[in-house]
Structure 1
């Protein structure tokens, strides 16, 4: 039996990282992420050049959770729990299908350290084991090889390319690769 992922705000602790609620004191770290052009090259989310805009987003994260629309979690290293190094995104929960879509964005200063891979692993463990989700999926632009590698390292299956099937802000109509992981894929 699965639980609704919006019943309780997630706080996910793994070996080296924690995914936690984003709070007002995270503004500087969050602005560093959302104002970095490198992080939005393959993203439907637009770059934010104004710190006030990012400050407003923090309140919207709480609102969107309460509306059961999406969940944004700060990715922190356990050695620095007050410093967000990235953002984990959780959205498009379907109770009927028992699936959820994930995304992630990491400050480029922390690329190449396995943090995104550990983040996806922490999210999949949480959704399969604590919430009882059956299917987790992610959409990736074909050009975003690093993100595809993160998903593949977590045993996600490449289902195929959705050709010119989505409009992403700032990108126009795009092709996206759909990756998924089923609970049964993780069973021994």
Structure 2
């Protein structure tokens, strides 16, 4: 029996990281992420140069959750729960297929520490076990090797490249590699 991922705002905790609601006091750490050009080279989102714009986004996260459009979570390390080191996303939920798309972005100061890999595992565990999702998918620009490797380390299946099949803000028409994981193939 599957639940709707928008029935309750997720709070996901593992031994090392927590994925939680983003609150107004997170605006400085969120600005550090959304104003970093390195983090938007392979992303459909746009860079934010203004702290007020980032602070305003936090209210939109709550609104988008209530509209059942998008779930955005702050990634924190358990030894510093008040500092967001990245964001994790769940969106494009399709109840007919029982499928959802995920995404993630990590502050580059925390790259190379396994945090993105642990984040994808935490999201996958949550969606399969707590929500009952059947299919999780992610789209990655083929040149984004770090993100490709995160999904591969989590045993997502590379389904292929969708050539010139999506328009990403600020990027135009792009190629995207599609990865997926099915609940029936998931090994904890």
Normalised by the shorter chain, which TM-score bucket? Answer: over 0.9
Deviations 1:66-107 (A, max 9, x none): 000000000000010111000001100000000100000000
CA distance in 1: counterparts of 2:108 and 2:124, whole angstroms: 23
Q: Report whether the alignment pairs 1:85 with 2:99.
A: no
Q: Match for residue 164 of structure 1?
A: 164
Q: Report whether the alignment pairs 1:101 with 2:101.
A: yes
- TM-superposed CA distance for 1:114, in Å, is 0.1
Number of residue pairs aligned between Structure 1 and Structure 2:
188
- Structure 2 counterparts to residues 1-188 of structure 1, below 5 A: 1-187=1-187
CA distance in 1: counterparts of 2:185 and 2:17, whole angstroms: 24
- TM-superposed CA distance for 1:187, in Å, is 4.5
- TM-superposed CA distance for 1:185, in Å, is 1.0
**C-alpha RMSD over aligned residues:** 0.7
**Structure 2 residues not aligned, in runs of 5+:** none
TM-score, length-scaled by structure 2: 0.99
- TM-superposed CA distance for 1:181, in Å, is 0.3
- TM-superposed CA distance for 1:15, in Å, is 1.4
**Structure 1 residues not aligned, in runs of 5+:** none
CA distance in 2: counterparts of 1:185 and 1:76, whole angstroms: 28
**Stretches of 4+ aligned residues off by more than 6 angstroms:** none
Secondary structure, aligned partner of 1:57: helix
TM-score, length-scaled by structure 1: 0.99
